Amino acid sequence: MLDSGTVALPDSQRRALLKKDSLWQKALRVHYRALVFDGHADTPTLMAEEGYDIGPRHAPAEAHLDLPRMKEGGLDAVFFSIYVPSYLGEGRRASARARRLIRTTKQQLEKHSGRAALATSAEEVRRLARNGKRAVLLGLEGGHALAASEDTLRALARQGVRYVTLTHIGTTSWADAATDTPRHGGLAPKGEDLVRAMNDAGVLVDLSHASDSTFYDALAVSRAPVILSHSSARALTPEARNVTDDMLRALAENNGLVMINFYDEYVEQPGGGPAALEDVLDHLDHAAQVAGVEHVGLGSDFDGVPRLPAGLGDATRLPWLTYGLLKRGYTAEEVYKILGGNALRVLEAAESRAAKPERDDSVAAARRR
């Protein structure tokens, strides 16, 4: 939570909302005082491939996120996805793609340094938010870009990467993906080593896109909380990319975090027609009921999906989630956690684990046998 917050919605819209429902007065106060943190946006791909500029305001049909709309929607921090397509394999092309997107993102942040900056820690996120700047963090989407190399992982961490999504749509040489043929029954031994190396480097282990077996194997190995940066609840929407209730409970035991994806195909009700904002609220609510409020966050997948739910078409619509959560009976403190407090917690936990890199080598050896 921030010390204060100015409502950034247009005055006419704010007045209309307050006239419609008195709860909006509380919702706007809570939302713009919160530190709102999105776990996943694919905007760097647009920047690198289409010359997209996050500085000016764009129409929702063009993109979901830019700096003006982040401000209007109260979005203080976002993980920009360093997305590496699976077809690039695990060699130089994949690593080069990652470096290119990191370089492009940093160039954009330098261009707009008065409004946004790279953050590599929870404290940097808080400091930027206090100063009215947007915090951008880097998450590598596609562990194949590591080329199964701990040295490459550490090099990317030095460049600012703070989470690694173990797989994308394809199974790698060391981890099975949710949407591909399994080869390892979860994590291969090399995958276990890489998870430990992520812990030591202060890099969060992201299990979105991972198979169920990979998910459980990673939880067994990781000494720090893990995240699902953009996944939803399989009990409501039976997609392989979503997580089961048992997985949500296991995530809570790990003290981890599921960041609910907004993509309509991952939140729509079977046979219920196109998704709407209420469906995203249903997934947030379900995850909170199963895993606990402390283990739920936002992972929009902005700029990475072709369709978003009605009423949630871009970053300016985030206050409607706050209103919806309050309408469902969540307290302000619970909403602060879901909007961003939980994301800061797991980021701090990863930093703390990296500061104490020693591990029980006998346990590690036993797991390899």
> How many domains in the chain?
2
Same domain membership, residue 368 and residue 232:
yes
217 is catalytic: no
Same domain membership, residue 275 and residue 154:
no
Same domain membership, residue 155 and residue 55:
yes
Q: Is residue 182 part of a domain?
A: no
Q: What is the mean pLDDT of residues 296-322?
A: 98
Q: Is residue 313 part of a domain?
A: no
Of the pLDDT bands very low, low, confident and very high (cuts 50, 70, 90), residue 1 is low
Q: Which amino acid is at 90?
A: E
Catalytic hit among 31, 184, 230, 286: 230
Q: What range does the domain containing 369 cover?
A: 222-306+361-369
- CA-atom Rg of the chain in angstroms: 19
Query: Residue 209 has which token pair?
Result: 């896109």
pLDDT tens for 336-362 read: 999 999 999 999 999 999 988 655 444
Domain boundary among 110, 139, 159: 159
Burial class (CB in 10 A: 0-12, 13-18, 19+), 244: middle
Same domain membership, residue 67 and residue 139:
yes
pLDDT tens for 75-94 read: 999 999 999 999 999 989 99
Same domain membership, residue 227 and residue 369:
yes
Q: Is residue 90 part of a domain?
A: yes
Using CA of residue 229, residue 235, residue 240, residue 245, what is the dihedral sign?
positive
Rounded to 5 degrees, φ, ψ at 39 are -80, -10
Q: Is residue 147 part of a domain?
A: yes
Domain boundary among 106, 124, 159: 159
Of the pLDDT bands very low, low, confident and very high (cuts 50, 70, 90), residue 367 is very low
Contact 194, 172 (CB under 8 A): no
Answer whether residue 249 shows pLDDT above 80.
yes
Q: Is residue 331 part of a domain?
A: no
Is the whole model's pTM more than 0.75, yes or no? Answer: yes
42 is catalytic: yes
209 is catalytic: yes
Query: Residue 106 has which token pair?
Result: 């940093």
pLDDT tens for 50-74 read: 999 999 999 999 999 999 999 999 9
Predicted pLDDT of residue 4: 54
Contact 184, 175 (CB under 8 A): yes
230 is catalytic: yes
141 is catalytic: yes
Catalytic hit among 31, 38, 40, 112: 40
Q: Is residue 5 part of a domain?
A: no
Q: Is residue 285 part of a domain?
A: yes
Same domain membership, residue 230 and residue 100:
no
pLDDT tens for 4-30 read: 567 889 999 999 999 999 999 999 999
Predicted pLDDT of residue 368: 42
Question: Domain with 60 in it: what CATH number?
Answer: 3.20.20.140
Same domain membership, residue 153 and residue 76:
yes
Beta strands in the chain (DSSP E): 36-41, 75-83, 116-118, 134-141, 161-165, 204-206, 227-228, 257-260, 296-298
Same domain membership, residue 143 and residue 227:
no
Q: Is residue 288 part of a domain?
A: yes
Percentage of the chain modeled with pLDDT above 90: 93
Q: Distance between CA 134 and CA 259 in Å, rounded?
A: 19
Same domain membership, residue 264 and residue 139:
no
Same domain membership, residue 109 and residue 236:
no
In DSSP terms, which residues pair with 310 in a beta bridge? 276
Query: Which residue in the block uniquely carries the two structure tokens 């990317």?
Result: 156
Catalytic hit among 31, 38, 42, 112: 42
Predicted pLDDT of residue 365: 45
pLDDT tens for 224-240 read: 999 999 999 999 999 99
Same domain membership, residue 367 and residue 245:
yes
Report which of 197, 84, 87, 103 is spatially closest to residue 143, judged by C-alpha positions.
84
Report which of 133, 16, 134 is spatially closest to residue 79, judged by C-alpha positions.
134
Count of beta carbons in the 10 Å neighbourhood of residue 368: 9
Catalytic hit among 209, 283, 286, 295: 209
Catalytic hit among 38, 66, 72, 141: 141
In this predicted structure, which of 91-95, 248-252, 320-324, 325-329 has the lowest mean pLDDT?
91-95
Same domain membership, residue 134 and residue 271:
no
